[in-house]
Amino acid sequence: MRKGFRENVRLDEALGVFLGFFEAVGEEGVALEQATGRVAASDVVAERAVPHYDRAAMDGYAVRATDTHGATGASPVRLGVVDGNVDEGEAAHVHTGSAVPDGADAVVRVEETREVGDGVEVSVAVSEGNNVAEAGEDVEEGATVVEEGTYLRPSTVGVLRSVGLEELGVRRKPRVTVVPTGDEVVRSDPAPGEVVGTNGPMVAEYVERWGGEATVTDTVPDEERALREALRGAASEADLVATTGGSSVGERDLIPEVIDDIGEMGVHGVAIKPGHPVGFGTVDGTPVVTLPGYPVSCVVNSFEFVRSGVRELLGVDSAPEPTVRCAVDGKISSEVGSRTYTRVEVEDGDGGRVARPVRTKGAGVLSSVAGADGFVVTPEEREGYADGEDVEVFLWEA
């Protein structure tokens, strides 16, 4: 009997099972200079306020607000200028960012003053706190400035630097081993019947972008013993193994059977297009995702399964995906029961942004992914989208 797919599982259900295989990786300490792009391993609490002193928000004069009451352009208030603490009837020259002297509780902008002899005339009344950045205005002492599972952006690292941090604990980069398979896969100069292996390096580069550390093995032939050895070797060193090719139900698609032989195949067949032949399981306790060999199917499932696995290993908090709302320029068809991914270009149209399908079929046409800006994802319950209908485009390269 010809072997077939075990299931046609909905994506949400499949991901729920898949992510149950993972536990967050451990942590390591890094200098703040190397923290951008990493993931915080624990909450970070500010040990000092930012600013840690009351500072002038404008160039001008630090004053007691009560001394300026009634001041106008026609009837300015004259104050003596001092260099230091401010008493009643006095003002001290300050620059933006400098400390507000003791005794002062407001700053008058320099353009609202006029120097007269050894004093200054103030032509505006100010209230307590005017033009003053109080201690803790940016960050209060004891505040949680970064939560566990946060991706550290340059601005986040800037905040950490401002509270005096020099190093912090981050999640270790998850180790992902990519195992390309297939007798027909070659490095270069393909003969008829052969293809250049693009999937392995492509998946590895995405893994690096998503915060993991990727290794690509040599291409493994479609032979059970070689596949068993490759999978066991990869599983012994990685937090996640991703195979490319050999995941379907043809005579040379041996990976699901091999995983069942040396581990456990959890799901084989997910209701998505392109990419239905994806599956996953475990080998020696290590999660393994079996990506299809067609490049577009490989990309789609890398984003849904490999990326999700890396995020789970990092313990990353959920965050909004980069998307843009567009009108469809053309019809998008889909089959009810499957989640469909349509490659589109995003362009400016007369009435706003439009999503123009690059290609609706052809899971082997990698150039259609390279030429697209994102995917329109049609949920399982819909038959597609009509021309001009409003859709959300997932910008996977953002």
DSSP 172: P
Query: pLDDT tens digits, residue range 153-164?
Result: 999 999 999 999
E strands, 284-386, where? 286-291, 323-328, 332-333, 339-349, 352-359, 374-378, 384-385
How far apart CA 1 and CA 45 sit, in angstroms, is 62
Which CATH number is correct for 55-133, 3.40.50.300, 3.30.470.20, 2.170.190.11, 3.40.190.10? 2.170.190.11
In this structure, the dihedral spanned by the alpha carbons of residues 258, 261, 267 and 273, taken in order and rounded to 10 degrees, is 10
Region 279-293: what's the mean pLDDT?
A: 96
Residue type, 296: V
Residue 362's pLDDT band (cuts 50, 70, 90): confident
Q: Please determine, for residue 2, whether its predicted confidence score (pLDDT) is greater than 50.
A: no
Task: Give the model's pLDDT for residue 195.
Answer: 87
Q: Please determine, for residue 4, whether its predicted confidence score (pLDDT) is greater than 70.
A: no
Q: Which CATH superfamily is domain 27-50+137-171 in?
A: Molybdopterin biosynthesis moea protein, domain 2 (3.90.105.10)
The CATH fold of domain 323-394: Beta-clip (2.40.340)
The CA–CA distances, whole Å, from 232 to 60, 241, 286 equal 71, 10, 9
How far apart CA 62 and CA 108 sit, in angstroms, is 6
User: Smallest Cα–Cα separation from 287: which of 244, 240, 246?
Assistant: 240
Q: Please determine, for residue 366, whether its predicted confidence score (pLDDT) is greater than 70.
A: yes
Residues 6+ apart with CB under 8 A from 183: 221, 222, 252
In sign, the C-alpha dihedral spanning 109, 115, 119, 124 is negative
For the chain, the average pLDDT equals: 93
Q: Please determine, for residue 64, whether its predicted confidence score (pLDDT) is greater than 90.
A: yes
Residue 367's pLDDT band (cuts 50, 70, 90): confident
Residue 51's pLDDT band (cuts 50, 70, 90): very high
Q: Please determine, for residue 334, whether its predicted confidence score (pLDDT) is greater than 70.
A: yes
DSSP 239: S
Region 348-364: what's the mean pLDDT?
A: 84
Q: Please determine, for residue 252, whether its predicted confidence score (pLDDT) is greater than 90.
A: no
State both tokens at 156. 């986040």
Three-state SS string across 1-41, please? CCCCCCCCECHHHHHHHHHCCCCCCCEEEEEHHHCCCCEEC
How far apart CA 343 and CA 373 sit, in angstroms, is 8
Burial 16-54 (b: 16+ CB within 10 A, else e): eebeebbebbebeeeeeeebeebbbbeebebeebbbbeb
Can you give the residue ranges of every domain in the chain? 11-25+173-314, 27-50+137-171, 55-133, 323-394
Query: pLDDT tens digits, residue range 179-221?
Result: 999 998 888 888 998 888 899 999 999 999 999 999 999 999 9
User: Smallest Cα–Cα separation from 390: which of 318, 332, 319?
Assistant: 332
Task: Give the model's pLDDT for residue 278.
Answer: 96
Query: pLDDT tens digits, residue range 122-179?
Result: 999 999 999 999 999 999 999 999 999 999 999 999 999 999 999 999 999 999 999 9
User: Smallest Cα–Cα separation from 119: which of 183, 63, 171?
Assistant: 63
Which CATH number is correct for 11-25+173-314, 3.40.980.10, 3.30.1330.100, 3.30.450.20, 3.30.1360.200? 3.40.980.10
Residue 5's pLDDT band (cuts 50, 70, 90): low
More confident residue, 167 or 362: 167
pTM for the whole structure: 0.87
- Mapped onto helix, strand or coil, the DSSP state of residue 255 is helix
The CA–CA distances, whole Å, from 100 to 84, 85, 91, 147 equal 9, 9, 11, 32
Task: Give the model's pLDDT for residue 1.
Answer: 30
Task: Give the model's pLDDT for residue 360.
Answer: 65
Residues 6+ apart with CB under 8 A from 3: 249, 257
Residues in the chain, total: 398
State both tokens at 295. 């490049």
